[in-house]
Amino acid sequence: MSSGGALEAGALSILEDDPLWYKDAIFYELPLRAFYDSNGDGVGDFPGLIEKLDYLQDLGITAIWLLPFYPSPMRDGGYDIVDHRAVSPEYGTQAHVRRFIREAHRRGIRVIFDLVANHTSDRHPWFQRARRAPRGSVWRDYYVWSDTPDRFSGVRVIFQDFEESNWTWDPVAGQYYWHRFYHHQPDLNLLNPRVQKEILRIADHWLRMGVDGFRLDAVPYLVEKDGTTCEGLPETHEVLRRLHAHIDSHYPNRLLLAEANQRPIDAVNYFGQGDECHMVFNFPVMPRLFLAVRTEDKLPLQRVIEEMPPIPENCQWGMFLRNHDELTLEMVDPEERQLMWDVYAVDTEARINLGIRRRLAPLLGNHRRRIELMNALLLSLPGSPVIYYGDELGMGDNVYLDDRNGLRTPMQWSADRNAGFSRAPSQRLYLPVLNQPEYHYGSVNVELQLRHPHSLLLWMKRLIGLRRRYPAFSRGDIRFLDSETYSVLAYLRTLGEQVLLVVANLSRYVRYANLDLAQYRGWTPVELYGETRFPAVAEGRYFMSLGPHSFYWFRLEPPPG
Residues of this chain that bind ligand BGC (CB under 6 A): 76-77, 79, 181, 217-218, 259, 324-325
CB of 79 to ligand BGC, least distance (A): 3
Instruction: Give the one entry of ligand BGC, Mg ion, none that residue 332 binds, where binding means its C-beta sits below a cut-off of 5 to 8 angstroms depending on kind.
Output: none
CB of 283 to ligand BGC, least distance (A): 11
CB of 380 to ligand BGC, least distance (A): 26
Residue 497 is a catalytic residue: no
Closest chain position to ligand BGC (CB): 79
The pattern of x and - marking residues 419 through 438 that bind Mg ion according to CB under 5 A reads --------------------
Evaluate whether 392 touches 372 at the Cβ level (below 8 Å): no
79 or 145, CB closer to ligand BGC?
A: 79
CB of 271 to Mg ion, least distance (A): 38
101 or 216, CB closer to ligand BGC?
A: 216
212 or 325, CB closer to ligand BGC?
A: 325
37 or 372, CB closer to Mg ion?
A: 37
| Exposure string over 448-457, b if 16+ CB within 10 A, otherwise e | bbeeeeebbb
Residue 217 is a catalytic residue: yes
Instruction: Give the one entry of Mg ion, ligand BGC, none that residue 8 binds, where binding means its C-beta sits below a cut-off of 5 to 8 angstroms depending on kind.
Output: none
| DSSP β-ladder status, 384-388 and 27-30 | parallel
| DSSP β-ladder status, 63-66 and 27-30 | parallel
Closest chain position to Mg ion (CB): 45
Degrees, nearest 5: CA angle 23-60-308 = 30
| DSSP β-ladder status, 551-557 and 145-146 | unpaired
Instruction: Give the one entry of Mg ion, ligand BGC, none that residue 447 binds, where binding means its C-beta sits below a cut-off of 5 to 8 angstroms depending on kind.
Output: none
Evaluate whether 167 touches 144 at the Cβ level (below 8 Å): no
Alpha helices (runs of H) in 432-539, residue ranges in sequence order? 446-451, 456-469, 471-475
Q: Does 211 bind Mg ion (CB under 5 A)?
A: no
In angstroms, rounded to a whole number, what is the distance separating the alpha carbons of residues 358 and 176?
Answer: 35
At a CB cut-off of 8 Å and minimum separation 6, what does 80 contact?
72, 73, 74, 119, 120, 121, 182, 184, 185
The pattern of x and - marking residues 21 through 60 that bind Mg ion according to CB under 5 A reads ----------------x-x-x-x-x---------------
Instruction: Give the one entry of ligand BGC, Mg ion, none that residue 259 binds, where binding means its C-beta sits below a cut-off of 5 to 8 angstroms depending on kind.
Output: ligand BGC
Instruction: Give the one entry of ligand BGC, Mg ion, none that residue 43 binds, where binding means its C-beta sits below a cut-off of 5 to 8 angstroms depending on kind.
Output: Mg ion
- H or E segment and range at residue 327: strand 327-328
21 or 152, CB closer to ligand BGC?
A: 152
CB of 368 to ligand BGC, least distance (A): 29
From 103, 114, 170, 259, the catalytic residue: 259
In angstroms, rounded to a whole number, what is the distance separating the alpha carbons of residues 99 and 47?
Answer: 9
CB of 485 to ligand BGC, least distance (A): 37
Residue 545 CB-density burial (10 A; 0-12 exposed, 13-18 middle, 19+ buried): exposed
33 or 357, CB closer to Mg ion?
A: 33
162 or 534, CB closer to ligand BGC?
A: 162
Phi/psi for 27 (5° steps) reads -90, 155
The count of other CB atoms within 10 Å of the CB of residue 2 is 10
3-class DSSP state of 319: strand
Instruction: Give the one entry of Mg ion, ligand BGC, none that residue 39 binds, where binding means its C-beta sits below a cut-off of 5 to 8 angstroms depending on kind.
Output: Mg ion
CB of 113 to ligand BGC, least distance (A): 13
Return the HEC string of 143-179.
ECEECCCCCCCCCCCCCCCCCCCCEEEECCCCEEEEC
| DSSP β-ladder status, 145-146 and 27-30 | unpaired
The count of other CB atoms within 10 Å of the CB of residue 543 is 12
CB of 65 to ligand BGC, least distance (A): 11
Write out the DSSP string of 242-292: HHHHHHHHHSSS-EEEE-----HHHHGGGGTTTTS-SEEE-TTHHHHHHHH
Instruction: Give the one entry of Mg ion, ligand BGC, none that residue 79 binds, where binding means its C-beta sits below a cut-off of 5 to 8 angstroms depending on kind.
Output: ligand BGC
Instruction: Give the one entry of ligand BGC, Mg ion, none that residue 37 binds, where binding means its C-beta sits below a cut-off of 5 to 8 angstroms depending on kind.
Output: Mg ion
Evaluate whether 177 touches 126 at the Cβ level (below 8 Å): no
Q: Does 397 bind Mg ion (CB under 5 A)?
A: no
Q: Considering CB under 5 A, how many residues would be counted as binding Mg ion?
A: 5
68 or 476, CB closer to ligand BGC?
A: 68
Catalytic center residues = 217, 259
List residues binding Mg ion (CB under 5 A). 37, 39, 41, 43, 45
